[in-house]
Amino acid sequence: MMLDRLRQAVDAGFAQQTAFLTELVKFPSTRGEEAPLQDWMARQLAARGYSVDRYVLGDLDMSHLPGFSPVLDTDYSRAVQVVGTRRAAAPTGRSLIIQGHVDVVPTGPTALWSAPPFSGDAKGEWLHGRGAGDMKQGVSAMVFALDAIRAAGLELTADIHVQTVTEEECTGNGALSTLARGYRADAVLIPEPTDATITRAHVGVMWFRLRVRGVPVHVARAQAGSNAIMSAYQLILALQRHTEQLNAAARQDPWFGGIPDPLKFNPGVIRGGDWASSTPAWCEVDCRIGLLPGSTLEDARRGVERCVAEAARADGFMANNPPDIIWNGFQADGYVLEPGSDAERVLAEAHQAVFGAPMEERRSTAVNDTRFYGLYHHMPALCYGPRGINVHGFDEAAHLPTLQQVTLAIACFVTEWCGVREVG
Ligand SMILES: [Zn+2]
């Protein structure tokens, strides 16, 4: 029976898959530093017989495309993307894009990790490291689910594109570039760490930078100056109140109404000032705020602009020296995977066969890349993957037993979706 053949192949390859994941984690692929990992990935796919398209974001002009996020200070000449394709000789099944991101968020102070963040150490059921959970384990599942199908003596009867992208954690422009380059399929699977649930909906996210001025004087005469850091603090408080109002309205939302405070505001980076005994003349705060699926980015931006303008008007200095808002990074719509697609039905059956229980759904208060395929190109985009803990935190880890099961579920899904024939 198909499930048993695939299970045998996934189990037989799992030690190798774990070693592959360790290799992935050892690349410190934070933003702008993904190229060595992507070069390695391209070689891995080529060695498996995929035809590989490797390119950098700097080669493409995407600024006119729906879903594009602006970037002010990032070098795209080293932002390598990889697409491995295996074409069926005479396709009879349904094609598939299987995609994962390899960029990871910064580690924070490494002293607070119990082992170095790029060690890839495995301890019992857990494999440790920044990106181990989100989502290098998902990338290993993509590659090894397809390996298992081959090892089981089967060949897909539809085209498959295996994509590893960057920029998922900040813009989504990596995923967008694969579409700009023309890759399409009948369905898309992204194995983010969802703990084997399907993502029904995710919120949108916007990034912006507040730029606040001040008047530098010696602190001895602070009353004659203006402190840009304290002004920024006022704006942060105003944006927190704005977010509370958004969350009160979100209680009526069909997808997120049941989730307390689904929209999060985060002042994530702050810099400013030059000297402890001078009132700071400048302050910049990089912020992130969520929005509901179905609401427009334009409206959400206007809301933020109105909030900041009102807070500035109420302040003696900022009323005459209004702060700037710079939209830089994520300008990401929310997305709903409409229930009832064939792709979701096939995945649910694969999940049921492997886990012996129905596939549950989740609603995510963070973005993922599915919006590009689902929202702008109407391909059913399934976000379903293994289990990770402490993603974006200290001691991030991948849960290996769940990874093994999810790899099998993906192998079952792919064989059923794309179709297979016996080799030799
Ligand atoms: Zn992720």
> Mean pLDDT, to the nearest integer, of 167-172?
97
Q: State yes or no: pLDDT of 414 exceeds 80.
A: yes
Average pLDDT, the chain: 96
- What is the Cα–Cα distance from 30 to 165, expressed in whole angstroms? 12
- Reported as a single tens digit per residue, the pLDDT across 213-227 is 998 888 888 788 899
Euclidean distance between CA atoms 139 and 41, whole angstroms: 10
pLDDT for res 21: 98
Mean pLDDT over 64-74 rounds to 92
- What is the 241 CA–ligand 1 centroid distance (Å)? 28
The predicted pLDDT at position 221 comes to 83
Distance from the CA of 368 to the center of ligand 1, in angstroms?
Answer: 6
Task: Determine the distance separating the centroid of ligand 1 and the alpha carbon of 267, expressed in angstroms.
Answer: 20
Decide if pLDDT at 74 tops 90: no
Which neighbouring-strand residues pair with 53?
83
Task: Output the CA 212–ligand 1 centroid distance in Å.
Answer: 32
What spacing in Å lies between the alpha carbon of 318 and ligand 1's midpoint?
A: 38
Percent of the chain with pLDDT over 70: 100
Nearest-10 Cα torsion for 344, 162, 184, 133: 50
The rounded distance, in Å, linking the Cα atoms of 166 and 139 is 12
Distance 169 CA to ligand 1 centre (A): 7
Q: 285 is written with which tokens? A: 């705060």
In angstroms, rounded to a whole number, what is the distance separating the alpha carbons of residues 54 and 308?
A: 42
Cis (ω within 30 of 0) for the bond into 379? Answer: no
Ligand 1 center to 347 CA (angstroms): 20
Residues paired with residue 285 on neighbouring β-strands, in sequence order? 210, 270
Query: Rounded to whole angstroms, how far apart are CA atoms 391 and 245?
Result: 28
Ligand 1: centre distance to CA 227 (Å): 38
CA separation for the pair 363, 255 (Å, rounded): 7
User: What is the predicted pLDDT for the residue at 220?
Assistant: 84
Strands 420-422 and 198-202: unpaired
pTM of the model: 0.95
pLDDT at 1 over 90: no
Centroid of chain to Cα 176:
12
**Would you give the DSSP letter of residue 278?**
B
State the pLDDT at residue 178.
98
392 CA distance to ligand 1 middle (Å): 9
Kind and range of the H or E run holding 70: none
- What's the CA-to-centroid distance between 102 and ligand 1, angstroms? 8
pLDDT at 235: 98
Helix (H, G, I), strand (E, B) or coil at 139: helix
Segment 270-300, tens digit of pLDDT? 999 999 999 999 999 999 999 999 999 999 9
315 CA distance to ligand 1 middle (Å) = 40
Render pLDDT for 127-161 as a digit per residue (tens, 0 to 9).
Answer: 999 999 999 999 999 999 999 999 999 999 999 99
Centre of ligand 1 to C-alpha 296, Å, is: 23
Mean predicted confidence (pLDDT) in 363-375: 94
